[in-house]
Chains A and B, each alone.
Chain A
Amino acid sequence: MRLRHLLATTVLSTGLATAALADSDWSLAEAAAPYAGTTVDVVFLLRPGYEAIEAMLPAFEEETGIKINIIKHPYENALGEQVRDFVAQGDLDIALIDLVWIGNFAENEWIVPVDEIQAKFPDAVDPDLDMDDFFPLVLNAFGGWNDTIYGLPFDNYSGLLFYNRCMLEEAGFDGPPETWADLKDVYGPALTKDGKYAYALQSKRNETQSADSFARMLWPFGGSFLDDEFRSNLLSDESQAGLQFRQELMAYMPDGIVAYDHAETVNAFAQGDVAMITEWSAFYSTVVSPETSSVADCVEIAPEPMGPAGRKPALGGFSLAVASQADDDEQAAAWLFIQWATSKANAREYLERGGVPARQSVYQEDGLEDFKFVPALVESWQDGVPEFRPRFAEWPEITEIVQEWGTRMMLGEVTTEEGAQEIGTRMEAVLDAAGYYSGDKPLAQ
């Protein structure tokens, strides 16, 4: 209901804002003319989706005269850099928002709702914006908070199962595992031998631990971080089943998996040391390129395996939103760039250059056979959980707790029950201090 309401509001406002322009010949160049010469500062990550848009950028700058100043950071630094910039009223004109940062950014009013921007700069609204074309789950999870859309989905991920068809065939399998149980009990023993491993789960102690490893094992087993009352749900039978499953699955992973970040995991798969990984769609271009992968011809993609509660694949990704600290010209220029970068018109080129657009229309086009991840991605974006990780403002504190104790569980320093107890106690202390239990804050995710 909430999602429907959110989309209806957004579509309506977009429609109102663009109605006046429907008959006019809107062009990016004309809309941008008043803002030519404006410089827009934005943080980008060191990932394929950003390289893709950077390669396309000269066309935008030439057409609009707007200069996009990209400040590159690794993921781990991106939140801190942006928070400090916004607190200090710095230079950033666009916020790059991971889905778990949206509550934080929105509640601090560091970003401007799309409605407000459209009302403020009606001439800058592209009549072809078509908010309806974004995957609803993605638009809601990546760009929406508390019934308001702030950002447009830009660098979009869903967890996918990347598997090495050649290794699986050699072991007698004609397809990937359908369930997590099969992956562990059938594929695991058959594929773990001679220094090769059936599976690798990136689990390094940073956001990778909490998002890619910990949360990935909660949802398919019916678990979750919180219950409806915002109390810890980590000691529930379902959550414990998932966390215990992760411990058992480690028998089929490389040693030292707690030191594996995305790079190590993708590399292990790309070098043929690991038969299967569950990674973000954004890494597709890395594993199918012969320049970076020795198994490029063997790579196949499937949706993540199902657990007792269903598929519930990992969901992650970023949106771009206009920063409230930017002046009017910068806000308008930023909005023009965001629309352009996430537009239907550019989605195909973005995809071909290694990005993953969130536009439904592009995946209905012909000639996408080379992008093997598309069917699995589209299916995953139907089954995903927006609250895969809680998106409220307190997540940065909570993720640190999950990272520490999640890793300790994997190392066997504490049991899954002890670790869940610790996380739960500390997580509830954070939520209590924030005012969720006293009623000062609504139980919003």
Chain B
Amino acid sequence: MRGKVSRKTILSFIGPAVIGLALVGIAPLLYALWTSLHFFNLTQLRRVEFIGLENYWTVLTDGAFWQAMGRTFFLLGTALPLQLALGLMIALVLHQPGLTLLKTLARLSLVLPMATTYAVVGLLGQVMFNQKFGVVNQLLGGADINWIGDPTNAFIMIIFWDVWQWTPFVALVLLASLTMVPGEIEEAARLETKSKWTVLRYVQLPYLLPGLVAVLILRTADTLKLFDMVFTLTRGGPGASTEFISLMIQRVGFRAFDQGLASAQAIILLIITIILAQNYIRVFYKEVN
């Protein structure tokens, strides 16, 4: 069969996709790489010059960069386990037989947080967590908690919104994974033991792993890129308490206009993301036999 398809035909099918990908994905990356090796400030374009790895050295020795990175991983380390635990709980509940209509409604409602624009979530947060007239303090019995202006509370608020928005995603992925478990095996296991933990651990978990790895990779990448919601909600403040790495890169690149330094930061972030993703796959991923 293969011999009958000409090289030209193959290229005409694959070519546009490759060119599109190169234009959309590869070209900006190469440009960022070029920019990162130059002094490149949008407001000082006459001074553009090749400076080698100086931007990378500046980033790697900048305490503020690593603090922002630490903050980002702290967010990942707190929000992701919560999302996984809550998402798994929801998935297991929805995996139970019966109550079909309610489960369908629940599945539909799970899509809503994900469908909400990130920036809108931040704006909602500004209103809901307002110290004086916000609904959150009202729900807490008229509490006078300063959410946005206190560094710790602001961080908690970010975790809350991230968990609210992305737990449904985890739940839907894990629910899809649970449907992959062959019914007869699951049924047989339930006849063998009444322990739900045992069923989860030895029957369902192997089928959940590919989904979990996907969730880990996607949520890690998303958290490292988290920007819109935080930008509209706290703008990285108060102080630098919610300045995550993507906010820092945006600040350097588009508010201080130092595109060279921001590109170096972004390239380093990309490398860290790739290393993490590879490790996730190596450590967690196992094909289900």
Contacts and interface: CB of A to CB of B under 8 A. Distances in A.
Nearest to A87: B42
Nearest to B148: A259
A353 interface: no
Given A104-B43, A393-B44, A205 B237 contact: yes
Nearest to A407: B239
A253 B67 CA distance: 30
B240 A80 contact: no
Contact of A204 (B235, B251, B257, B258): B235
A257 interface: yes
A80, A108, A205, A259, most chain B CB atoms within 10 A: A259
A47 B44 CA distance: 30
Nearest to B236: A205
Q: Which of under 10, 10 to 19, 20 to 34, or 35 or more describes the interface residues of A?
A: 20 to 34
Contacts of A255: 131, 144, 146, 149-150
Interface stretch (A167-175, A276-284, A396-404): A396-404
A83 interface: yes
Contacts of B132: 273
Contacts of B43: 83, 104, 108, 393, 396
A89 to B, nearest CB: 12
A393 B44 CA distance: 9
Nearest to B44: A393
B45 interface: yes
A404 B112 CA distance: 35
B91 to A, nearest CB: 37
B239 A256 contact: no
A22 interface: no
B255 A205 contact: no
Interface in B152-190: none
A411 interface: yes
B44 A259 contact: no
A88 B2 CA distance: 48
B45 A80 contact: no
A296 interface: no
Q: Which of under 10, 10 to 19, 20 to 34, or 35 or more describes the interface residues of B?
A: 20 to 34
A404 B254 contact: no
B239 A400 contact: no
Given A83-B42, A411-B151, A259 B237 contact: yes
A149 B240 CA distance: 38
A256 B148 contact: yes
Contacts of B44: 108, 393, 434
Contacts of B239: 205, 258, 404, 407-408, 411, 413
Interface string A202-220: 0011100000000000000
Interface in A410-432: 411, 413
Contacts of B251: 400
A182 to B, nearest CB: 27
B45 A87 contact: yes
Interface string B10-52: 0000000000000000000000000000000011110000000
Contact of B237 (A80, A393, A407, A434): A407
B143 interface: no
Interface in A61-116: 79-80, 83-84, 87, 104, 108
B150, B251, B255, most chain A CB atoms within 10 A: B255
Contacts of A104: 43
A282 B235 CA distance: 24
Contacts of B53: none
A255 B153 CA distance: 13
Given A204-B237, A393-B44, A411-B239, A400 B256 contact: yes
Contacts of A400: 251, 255-256
B238 interface: yes
Contacts of A260: 149
Interface in B109-159: 131-132, 144, 146, 148-151
A108, A411, A413, A434, most chain B CB atoms within 10 A: A411
A256 B44 CA distance: 37
Interface in B221-273: 234-240, 243, 251, 254-258
A332 B251 CA distance: 36
Contacts of B144: 255
A391 to B, nearest CB: 13
Contacts of B243: 404
Contact of B149 (A256, A397, A434): A256
A256 B42 contact: no
Contacts of B255: 79-80, 396, 400
Interface string A384-396: 0000000001001
Contacts of B238: 205, 256, 258-259, 407, 411
B45 A256 contact: no
Contacts of A257: 149
A367 to B, nearest CB: 38
B151, B239, B257, most chain A CB atoms within 10 A: B239
Contact of B257 (A83, A256, A411, A413): A83
Interface in A149-175: none
Contacts of A258: 149, 237-239
Interface string A115-136: 0000000000000000000000
Contacts of A407: 237-240
A142 B148 CA distance: 33
Interface of B: 42-45, 64, 131-132, 144, 146, 148-151, 234-240, 243, 251, 254-258
Given A204-B237, A256-B238, A393-B43, 12 more contacts: A80-B254, A108-B45, A255-B150, A256-B131, A256-B148, A256-B150, A259-B234, A396-B255, A396-B257, A400-B255, A404-B64, A407-B237
* Shortest Cβ-Cβ A-B pairs, 10 listed: A256-B149, A259-B149, A205-B237, A256-B146, A258-B238, A259-B148, A397-B256, A407-B239, A408-B239, A255-B146
27 contacts: A80-B254, A83-B257, A84-B42, A87-B45, A104-B43, A205-B235, A205-B238, A255-B131, A255-B149, A256-B148, A256-B150, A257-B149, A258-B239, A259-B149, A259-B234, A259-B237, A259-B238, A273-B132, A393-B43, A396-B255, A396-B256, A396-B257, A407-B237, A407-B239, A408-B240, A411-B151, A434-B44
